[in-house]
Structure formats: structure tokens, C-alpha cells
Structure 1
Amino acid sequence: MTAAKSASHMPYVGIASFLKAPVCADLDYLDADVGVIGIPFDEGTMNRPGTRFGPRALREQSSLYEQYLPGEGYYDIELRQTILRGVNIVDCGDVPIQPLALEANHNRMTQSIKTMLSRGALPISVGGDHSITYPVVQAFSDIGEIGIIQIDTHADVFTFYESDLTHGSPMINVARNCPNVTKFVQIGMRGLMLGEKDYSDSIARGNVIITSDEVRSIGVDWVLDQIPEMPYYLTFDIDSMDPSIAPGAGTPEPGGLLYHQARDLLRGVAKKGPIVGFDLVEVNPLYDPTGTTALLATRLVVDFLGAIFHERQARSERRPAAAEA
């Protein structure tokens, strides 16, 4: 490798696309296994703004994980295996957001994800505040029955504001307006912002609610046992993590998950059924000048992608064996 080529792999050199992946400026020409799209939107924020800068922060931190040899993936020493070998990842840029144009912004989010799905790519949305999950999930209306796994501090079912399109209400909006979403599994719940009636109503509808304390005290394996098998969309709010390792969150709360707990949850979720898409939201770099939160978020995205494609391969290998039997 020449000195010039070697230098091009430095994190501080070149365009800061996600994982320094190729960029697709026009989704109609997307040709990839995975499309990563930024949604720099934080007009649904009720606490502290700044998550609109989340996608850019993740891209910058993700430069650390550039694939030196495209297509070769990453060797994960803890797994003793290579992940994402042969998986084509493309950065799809950002959904164009116009200030105060809520309906137009939501429509662009939905249409962007629909286009990515039509091109056969697994869509990954990077926010932005958690309100983006509702218009994103609307893009999956034609793919059949799915469940949602939400890893978060808050249940996001608030309805007492004049507008229910805040980052505190995406789950209630999905429940009301996305009939193909038939199951909700909420993991990591903690704090003082879920009303008793909201909790009891959710349980009565057959939803699964698992607290942060239950993850810690009973364990990840037990949590995974509570999740039925079916296709899932996953939404991951970075405030589910402990503020000691993720201070740059939109609405932080004392306590929370640690990295290995979240990683093991994501690996287990990938085994529960096909993952149709996922988002990672609420990274607020204005409250974390170290970049630690964005780096953690990036690593969780890579870990989850590795698990998704490992399970895809395992399922494809099992199908011929089942057919022969």
C-alpha cells in the first residue's frame, strides 16, 4: 500500500460519510444491502434541542471504523468472527429538512424510506429526535405484519400536548395509525414519566414492558425470552443508555443500560425474526463535546448490523436443510 493510499484511511482524511462508505446522492439509483440515511430533525423536542446535529456527529465518529478493505467487514475479537463481510453499505445522505414545514418534512422521511425499501436496501435512519420514528414506520405499511422493539427510557405515549407529534409520542402515533404494527416490546423503561394508567392500558393491549432494573437484575437472557418471534422494526433511543457513558442525550435520565447489555440485547433481538429496518435517535452532540455518545451510538449500529446479517445467513443456510428434510 502506497503512502498516499495509507493516508486516505486516516479518520481525519476524506469525506465523513457513515463508516466512510460510498455516498448515494439519488435514492432512485441506490444499489446496496444497507442504506444509512440521516434525519437532522429536532422540532419535536420538548427538552433540549440539538439532536439535529446527531447524524453529522455519528458520521464523524464512525470514521474510526472505516473498512480498510471494502467488503472484508470487521474482525470482532470478542465474537472471534468477522462481521459484515460482503455487506454493501451506502450512505444515503440526509432527508432534506425545512424549518417549520412539519407535514412536508414527515412526508419526505416516509418517502425516503419507501424508496430505500423499493431498492432492496435495509434502511437505517439516524436522528434527530424520536418523533422521526412515526413517519419512518409509516413507510413499512405495505410489508405485512410487524412488531416494534423500542429500547428507550421513555414509553413515548404522551397525548396531553396540543400536538401529539413530539418526541414523546411516536409510539402512540404508531399504535393509532399503523395497523400492520401489531406488537410493541419496550425495553429499558425507567424514570418518572410514564403514568400508571398508560402503563396498565399498554399491558392490557398485550404489549411487553421491561424496565431497566429488570434488565440489570434478571438479565438479558430473560429479557429476550419475553420477545415473541416475528418480523421487527427496532427503534433505539440513546437515552436508554446510562448518562455516564452517553451524556449527549436529548432527555437523559439517571440509571440506564451499559454498553454490553445493549449490545447483547441487539444481538439477541436479531435472532427473533427478520429485522425490516431500524433507527437510532436522540444523540445530542451539543451536550457531549468528547464525542463519546456518538461513538457509542455508531458502535451499536455496527454491532446490530453484524448480528442482522449473521442471522440472515444462518436462516438462508437452514432453509435448504429444512426443504431436504
Structure 2
Amino acid sequence: MNVHIIEMPLDYGGRRHGSDMGPSAIRLAGVRRKIESIGHTVVTDSKSIEVIPQENVDIGSNPKAKYLEPIVKACTELAGVVRNSVEKEEFPLVLGGDHSIVLGTVAGLHSAYREKGKRLGVLYVDAHGDFNTDETSPTGNIHGECMSACAGYGLKDLVNLYEEGRKVDPKNICYVGVRDLDEGEKRLMKEAGVTVFTISDIDRYGFDEVVKKVKLFFKTRCDVVHISFDMDSLDPSIAPGTGVPVPGGMNYREALLLMEEMHSIGLVKSMEIVEVNPILDVRNETAVMAVNIAARLLGEKLF
């Protein structure tokens, strides 16, 4: 399989900057070498998506959607790259960057798969919901408004990015690892009908049972699945290099097992890994874990 590595060094969407260096950190952690060792062919763009450093960009006039214009511009370009990758029957592996990049990734996937008549599902592995809108967001950081926009809620500039309308049916969105939700986004997530497996669900039912439910969720309703993996889904004691750490997260083995099991259903055709912040990391450990998580999804086996 041809794996298309797309580097997206965008960090306008969050409060703590430094995730723009995440793609470089993951590259230096050996992502290409690891993927090729599994037997895949890695392709990259000769010209990376250009993102102007945050300190040189106007924050904009809307305090409830900071850096709206540059985020829309960059994610629109990303959407086109992702769409072209799917049309070439490649596996887009997008390296972020903060989680606002999901706006571009999912827009590109929706555009490509809609023409093929395929139903898109999203597995969102994250400590957070990212389901606020400009009306509910307590911060105005767009990385907290990105998944709601993909599902058709919030600012029109975000909802209609690349193409008009929602990019994924919220009933085809499944969360794993959630443990930090704002009240406004919690209400909207319930109204929208997304499926959520919190850390408490993992503790209550066991990780194996949750994974079985996740696999059944996608096998019964989707033709293709995208995985959006935020490194803050892991406990910060093992993954310190991320911008919004929340105690009590998944452990490393659970993340690897989840990726192995998702690989087994044969529906996952794209992935993004976000919120690796090397400024906060220790010896690039979080980036190394990101590489191994991607490898397990792409078929790496222990034996």
C-alpha cells in the first residue's frame, strides 16, 4: 500500500503553541522507516503545506474563533491534498499540528468518498470532545470547535470549508478516551447523536469490551473509517509532549491494541495524529509513541 505522509504544521487552533513542530518530531522519530519496515511504500509531497508562523498572523476580530481566516485557508489546502491522495488510492497519514487540522482532513475525505458513494465514519481518539461552537466555547480556540464543524454545527466558515455542508454524519462519529468535556459541547454531542466511550466506560466495562463495541459500531454503518488520534488521549505521565494534558488517560498498550483491532476490520483508509508538542516532550518520547501507534494501525505485528 502507498502511504501518503502529509505534514501539516499548523498550531493556530490551540492555546499552547509548539505543535507546529509536531510533524518534524514525528519525522525525526522515524515514521518513514517504520512504515517501510512493515512493507508499505511511503510517498510524500515535494512541497509541504506552507503555514505562516502563528506569531506573524493576525488573530482576527472574532474572539470566539481565533485565527479563523488562516485556519480556513490552511485547512482548505489540506482538504485538496487529502482528496487527491484518496483519488490515487493512497492512505493519507496526516501529521499535525493541533486538532483543528481535522477540518481539512475530513473535508477532503468527504469530498472524495461522497463521489464514490461511500459512507464515512470517524473514530475520534481524544481526551476532549472538540464539539464546542463559537456560542459555547469558553476559549475561542478553534481546535475545540473543529469536530462539531465537521458534523455541521457552528460557524459557516468552518462548516462550509472546502465544500458546503457537513462533512460527516454525527451518527457515524465514535469517541474513545474522552474525559474532559465542557457543558455546552456535552449537550450538543448528545443532541447530535455521536457515540462516546469515556475513560469511565473503559474502567466500567473493560477495554476489550469497549473495543468490541467500537468495531461493531463501524462495521454496521460505515464503508470507510478515518482515525483522528490526539496524543492527549494518552495519560500525560507517559505522553508529556502534548498541549492540553488531562490526567487519567489511556495507557500505551491500550492505544496500541485499539489500533491493531481497528486494522483488523479492514475499513480504515486514513489517519491523522495531532497535538505532538516537542517543546513539552521528554527526549521525543511522545513522537516515538505516535510513530508506533501509526505502525500498529498499518499492520505491524509483534509476532
By relative contact order (CA 8 Å, sep 6+), the higher-ranking structure is: 2
**8 Å contact kept, 2:211–2:258:** yes
Deviations 1:225-257 (A, max 9, x none): 322112211100000001011001010011101
Match status 1:90 vs 2:43: yes
2:21 maps to a residue whose letter is: F
Percent of paired sites with the same residue: 27
Matches within 5 A, 1:167-246: 167-176=143-152, 177=159, 179=166, 181-182=168-169, 183-191=172-180, 193-195=181-183, 198-227=185-214, 228=217, 229=219, 230=222, 231-246=224-239
- Give the SS at the match of 1:215: helix
- The residue aligned with 1:148 is 122
TM-score (norm 2): 0.78
Matches within 5 A, 1:252-263: 252-263=245-256
- Give the SS at the match of 2:246: coil
- The residue aligned with 2:17 is 49
Q: Deviation of residue 283 (structure 1)?
A: 0.3
Closer/same/farther in 2, CA of residues 212 and 37 from structure 1, 3 Å limit: same
TM-score (norm 1): 0.73
Deviations 1:284-325 (A, max 9, x none): 000114111111111111111116xx9xxxxxxxxxxxxxxx
- Give the SS at the match of 1:285: coil
Gap runs ≥5 in structure 1: 1-31, 74-83, 311-325
**8 Å contact kept, 2:78–2:104:** yes
Closer/same/farther in 2, CA of residues 156 and 103 from structure 1, 3 Å limit: closer
What is the distance in 1 between the residues matched to 2:260 and 2:16? 31
**8 Å contact kept, 1:35–1:122:** yes
Q: Deviation of residue 162 (structure 1)?
A: 9.9
**8 Å contact kept, 2:150–2:167:** no
Deviations 1:3-58 (A, max 9, x none): xxxxxxxxxxxxxxxxxxxxxxxxxxxxx61111110000111x211000000001
Q: Deviation of residue 198 (structure 1)?
A: 3.4
**8 Å contact kept, 2:10–2:19:** yes
- Give the SS at the match of 1:43: coil
Deviations 1:98-125 (A, max 9, x none): 3433333122111111222222211000
Q: Deviation of residue 261 (structure 1)?
A: 0.4
Please identify the structure whose Cα radius of gyration is greater: 1
- Give the SS at the match of 2:86: helix
Q: Deviation of residue 89 (structure 1)?
A: 1.8
2:43 maps to a residue whose letter is: V
Alignment length (residue pairs): 259
1:59 maps to a residue whose letter is: R
RMSD: 2.4
Matches within 5 A, 1:233-312: 233-306=226-299
